[in-house]
Structure 1
Amino acid sequence: METLRALTPADVSACVALAADRDWPPEPAKWWFLLTAGTGFGVFDGVDLVGTAVVTRFGDVHAALSMVLVARGHGGRGLGRRVVEHALAFADIPLVSLYATAFGKPLYEKLGFRSVGRTAGHFGTLTAPPSGVSRPAGRADRARVVAEDAAVFGADRSAMWARLFDFAHEVRVADGGFAASWRNTDRLMVGPVVADSVGTAKALIADLAGDGPARVDVADPELAAWLSANGMPARFEVDQMVRGDLTGDRGRLYAPVMQALG
C-alpha cells in the first residue's frame, strides 16, 4: 500500500536514488535547495520512495512544479498524476508553470497545462571571452536584484533569493541586468539571466560561465545561436508549460534559475 507524505532534506538521498532509477543525474545539491525553498511530496511503497513532485510557491501569485518522477517498476499505475495533483492542491494558486519533456507533456495537458514555448539546454565550455562589463554583486546590490527579478518574473521571489544568494557560486550585476551561477554535479549552471538586451545577456553569461563545463537554458534564438557558435550547442529541448497566464516583463528573462523554478 503506497503512502504519500511531505519530503524533507533528510529524504535527499532517497530522491537521488529515485532519480538514478530513471537515468536522471544525481543532483543532491539541487534536491536540497528545492526541498528547502519549496515543498516536496513523495509516494512511498513501504520504505521505498517511488514517486516525487516538488512545488515552489512565490507568494500567492505563482508556483513552479518540478521533479516529477515515478520509479520504473511503478509506472502505469497513476502515481505520477496522484502526486502532481496533490502538489497542485497544496499550492492552491491559479498560475503554475513547469518545464516538460515529451514524455511528461501528455499528463500535464490532461491537467490543464498548455505549452507557451520551447527552451533548449545548452551544454559545453564557452569559448567566448569574459566581457568585463559586469561585477560581483555585493550586499548593497541584493535589494535591486530581488526587485528586478520580481518585475521580470511577475512575482516576489525574495524568499527564494534569501537562499539563492548563499547557494549560488556567483551573482554578478551590470548596468542592464544581473545573472547568477550555481554548481550542479560536474558543471556550472548559469541562471537566472535578466538583461535589457540580448547583448547584455551574452556579456553576463560570458562573465559567469568560466573555463569549464557549463549549462544555460535559453529560448531566445539569437542567444541560442551565439551559445552554439561558442562551444555550447543545444543538447535537448523541453516545453515551458503553464496553467494560467504568465505575468511580468518576460522579455528580459533570458534564462531561468533552473527549470525547476520557472
Structure 2
Amino acid sequence: MTRSDLPACTALAVGRGWPPEEAKWAFLLRVGRGFGLFDGDRLVGTTIATRFGDSHTAVSMVLVAESHGGRGLGRRVVEHALADAGTPEASLYATSFGKPLYEKLGFRSVERVAGHFGVLDVPPSGVSRPVVDRAGLVARDAAVFGADRSAMWAELFGFAERVVVSEGGFAAGWRNDGRLVVGPVVADSVEAAKALVADVADGGPARVDVTDPELAAWLSAHGMPARFEVDRMVRGPQGGDRRQLFAPVMQALG
C-alpha cells in the first residue's frame, strides 16, 4: 500500500470501531511496508510490517473488514508480511481476540502492557532539554530495543511534537487525534522515566503505554488510569535491554 490508500485505511479502521488515526497511519506507511487485501477495488484487509535493520520486524494495523471476517484473511496477510520481511525476530501487540491467531503463527506472550489515558496532574520536572546529539540517542535506542531503528528515527524527529533528553534517558511525544502520545520513554530508572513523562506530557490530554508496575501506579495515582491491557508478543529471539524501555513509540512499532 501507499499513501494513496490512506483514506481507505482510515475508513476500514472506523468500520471496525477503531479511531481513524490518520497521522499515525501516514507515519507508519512512510516507515514501514503496508500490505492490503482487496475485493475488487475495495480494501478489506491490512497490515503494516516495519523492518528494523536485518533483525526485527514490528507487525501492526492488522485489520479485516467485518464483511470478510472468518475467512482466514488476517492470517494470510500477516503471514505474507512476515515472509516478505524475513527477519529472525518479529513482535506485535495483541488483544485477547487476536492472541490465538498470533500463537498459531509462532508468537509467544512476553509481557502485559497497559494503556494509560488522562491529564497528568504532576508539574513538569524541568530535568529535560531538547535533543542535540541525535546520533547518540539513536545508538542508545538500538541498544535498548535490540535493533537498529535509525530509519524510523529519521522520520520520527520530524513527526514528533517534542523529543527531549535528560541525564537519565530520553523521551518523545507525538500527536494522535488530538492527544499527545508519550513514547518512547527510555530511562535508567523509574524515577528518571517519571521525570521525562512529566516534562513531555506537560499538563494536556495524554497517553502512555507501560509495563513497569511502579510507573503504572504513579500514572494511575496522578490522573492517568489504565483503560485497557494487551499482550506484547514475540516470535524468535528477543534482543536488547528492554528493562530501560518504559514506553514504546507506539504499539505499532514494538
TM-score range, shorter-chain basis? over 0.9
State the AA in 1 paired with 2:236: G
Structure 1 position 185 matched with structure 2 position 163: no
Counting only pairs closer than 5 Å after superposition, residues 101-180 of structure 1 correspond to structure 2 as 101-138=95-132, 141-180=133-172
Shift of 1:46: 1.0
Q: Deviations over 1:196-219 (max 9, x none)?
A: 000000000000002221000000
Q: Distance in 1 between matches of 2:131 and 2:62?
A: 33
Q: Deviations over 1:88-125 (max 9, x none)?
A: 11111110000000110000000000000100000000
Q: Distance in 2 between matches of 1:98 and 1:12?
A: 21
Q: Aligned partners of 1:246, 1:218: CA distance in 2, in Å?
A: 18
Structure 2 unaligned segments of length 5 or more: list them.
none
Q: What corresponds to 2:80 in structure 1?
A: 86
SS at match of 1:214: strand
By how many angstroms is 1:144 displaced? 1.1
Match of 2:200 in 1: 208
SS in 1 for 2:50: strand
Q: Distance in 2 between matches of 1:165 and 1:226?
A: 28
Q: Give the match for residue 96 of structure 1.
A: 90
* Partner SS, residue 224 of structure 2: coil
Return the alpha-carbon distance in structure 2 between the equivalents of residues 97 and 158 of structure 1.
Answer: 18
CA-CA distance at 1:192 after TM superposition: 0.2
Partner AA of 1:32 in structure 2: A
CA distance in 2 between partners of 1:210 and 1:173 (Å): 15
d(CA) in 1 for partners of 2:6, 2:180 = 20
C-alpha distance in 2 between matches for 1:174 and 1:144: 13
**1:253 shift after superposition:** 0.3
Identity rate, percent: 74
Q: Does the Cα contact within 8 Å between 2:122 and 2:203 map onto a contact in 1? A: no
Q: Give, in whole Å, the separation in 2 of the partners of 1:73 and 1:210.
A: 42
User: 1:21: which partner in 2?
Assistant: 15
Partner in structure 2 of residue 239 of structure 1: 231
Residue in structure 2 matched with residue 37 of structure 1 by the alignment: 31
Deviation at 1:187, TM superposition (A): 0.3
d(CA) in 1 for partners of 2:237, 2:76: 24
Structure 1 runs of 4+ off > 6 angstroms?
none
| d(CA) in 2 for partners of 1:131, 1:64 | 32
Q: Partners of 2:8 and 2:203 in 1: how far apart?
A: 33
Which of 6, 9, 16 aligns to 2:3? It is 9
Pairwise CA distance, 1:47: 1.1
Once residues 63 and 19 of structure 1 are traced to their aligned partners in structure 2, the CA distance between those partners, rounded to angstroms, is 22
Q: What corresponds to 1:194 in structure 2?
A: 186
Partner residue, 1:250:
242
Does the CA contact (< 8 Å) of 2:209 and 2:248 recur in 1? yes
In 2, the alpha carbon distance for the partners of 1:12 and 1:235 equals: 27
Kept in 1: contact 2:131–2:163 (CA 8 A) = yes
User: Would you say the 8 A contact 2:123–2:203 is kept in 1?
Assistant: no
> How far did 1:10 drift?
1.0
Gaps of 5+ in 1: 1-6
Alignment of 1:63 with 2:63, yes or no, is: no
Supply the RMSD in Å over aligned alpha carbons: 0.6
Say if 2:12 and 2:43, in contact at 8 Å, map to a contact too.
yes
Q: TM-score w.r.t. structure 2 length?
A: 0.99
Give the Cα–Cα distance (whole angstroms) in 2 for the partners of residues 125 and 246 of structure 1: 33
For residues 247 and 83 of structure 1, the distance between their equivalents in structure 2, rounded to whole angstroms, comes to 26
Displacement, 1:258?
0.2
Secondary structure at the residue paired with 1:143? helix
TM-score normalised according to structure 1 size = 0.96
